[in-house]
Chains A and B, each alone.
Chain A
């Protein structure tokens, strides 16, 4: 088996089962502006050496000057490598003057003269009109594939193909791999860049749709979180951890199990964020660092809130990860979260809130898979997760969550507004604890300068609604 060709992106390599198989023919497809040329150049600059250079051949689509002008703005574009390890050549004149046979001759010439490790043809699709008949193009493909296969060279054919062209275009049958870059539209006019591996000979790969972004660093990938079922046993600690609220710990049977997931559901203003803060600051002060992953308040807003309860975001063991829900990519967010957890050695996470994340997801089933994979991954590492979820009903909660997350959470705590004795009261209930008994009564609580103060359960004569 040939060596793998690295893209320079560890995540992309992982999705491709370690990288593209070497010496193959690879198609990069997508509509204009999807990042095909950038990705191809990433491969070129990452792999090219003076001994085994990369040759970038532009055809009759985008002028070579333009490719170079925009290329040099990218961080991986090494000007010193141009002309020594990465060669840019224009095939436009050849294909105009000599047609497809001329293209074959020039490529043969490059193989002999430059002995490249990589050849990129951009745009490959633009060569189609130079074949008078379909069979002429097939003959050209056969010849080209034959020449490229006779030499240890990895090639990329870049083209503005849509998925609907795959069954009818011969190049897709010839290719060893097909990488697709596209844009999908979701409700509210949001657009998501989507990467897919449509074909990869001789290797497994991560199926499905993955997010990507274009930046000065090139194409950045965020593989969908879809952990396979891992049957390997793992050991969780058997000493429970505190929620940061003493009475709640008692209701839970002396706190949460380490590595457990907890859903805190309640209407707006019921105290969900504060419960998360108790959980995080309790951890930080007892040697369990935590990440506050919020899409609600920015650092200044949250600092003011936590100061009101005698905490500070500057305390040791507190990591704030704020992202605006505007233009949020769920895949990108979850990768950043996992990196923060690893970098800080966090043992606790608060996600505030699930509803904001759900808006960033194009598909409800995928959202559930995402949360499930994230919770499983955290559980195996002994990282405890608390998630807040807003419920629509201000009084008389009838549904816990809209996305089935309560089903996959180990613990569910419900915060409610209740009416009784001609006033609004706050009630807290432990609805579910996995692998432990709990107090199922509704207890009254108040929010004071010390945070949550949980009192007794409501008496039978309080006539609550």
Chain B
């Protein structure tokens, strides 16, 4: 049986993305590369469509298109046969980042998403509380200096509501962080490996493993 192929117009309709955007992504990032027919038409496979869905989900989660494609490249190069269709947000481990520094937040979010976690970001304390209410994260990463020093209150609140808390700060605040109820502390700037391994330690195992266990 011959595998299905899709035209660019069909893929655009399936994903709700303009064809021009699909062409731009292909030219700029060179990650999702459909074959061409003898007549020059793009031929998308099911895998291509799933890869584009992955990119779209990442963008909807707050990522820039460049980062979303970089993440896809990383996932495909690590395990080309990996199913990147995802299991739906209800089955993925959710992490909230309450981080005042947008650059640090962007990096932390990227590294956690690379590991398969679903992430939500808040750059100030009130927003963090609202996101927490809405998303009920499994773990909250809290910058103790967010919103001029609201981090300790956030730590206490999130911990009382049952989430795991990883406190972070550019200052050496290990003892304080534990007093505020945090489960762990890391000093900024965050080393990506350290961040991911700490999160894994707190959550028990990697998000991918959890996803496989949770999925039927």
Contact = CB atoms under 8 A, between A and B. Distances in A.
Interface of A: 23, 105, 108-109, 111-113, 115, 146-147, 149-153
B101 A150 contact: yes
Nearest to A111: B107
Contact of A113 (B70, B103, B106, B193): B70
Contacts of A147: 103
Main secondary structure of the interface of A (DSSP, over half): helix
Q: Nearest 6 A-B pairs (CB), nearest first? A: A150-B104, A150-B103, A152-B189, A146-B103, A147-B103, A152-B191
B190 interface: yes
Q: Which of A105, A112, A149, A152 has the most CB of B within 10 A?
A: A112
A149 B102 CA distance: 11
Contacts of B101: 146, 150
B169 to A, nearest CB: 13
B117 interface: no
Interface of B: 66-67, 70, 74, 101-104, 106-107, 110-111, 188-193
Contact of B110 (A112, A149, A153): A112
A251 B66 CA distance: 86
B103 A112 contact: no
A271 to B, nearest CB: 66
A112 B189 contact: no
A150 B189 contact: yes
B190 A152 contact: yes
A231 to B, nearest CB: 34
29 contacts: A23-B189, A105-B66, A108-B106, A109-B66, A109-B70, A111-B107, A112-B67, A112-B70, A112-B107, A112-B110, A112-B111, A113-B70, A115-B192, A115-B193, A146-B102, A146-B103, A147-B103, A149-B103, A149-B189, A150-B101, A150-B103, A150-B104, A150-B188, A151-B104, A151-B107, A151-B190, A152-B189, A152-B190, A152-B191
A324 B132 CA distance: 75
Contacts of A152: 189-191
Contacts of B104: 150-151
B107 A150 contact: yes
Contacts of A153: 189
Contacts of A105: 66
A108 B109 CA distance: 13
Nearest to A151: B189
B117 to A, nearest CB: 15
A211 B79 CA distance: 53
B106 to A, nearest CB: 7
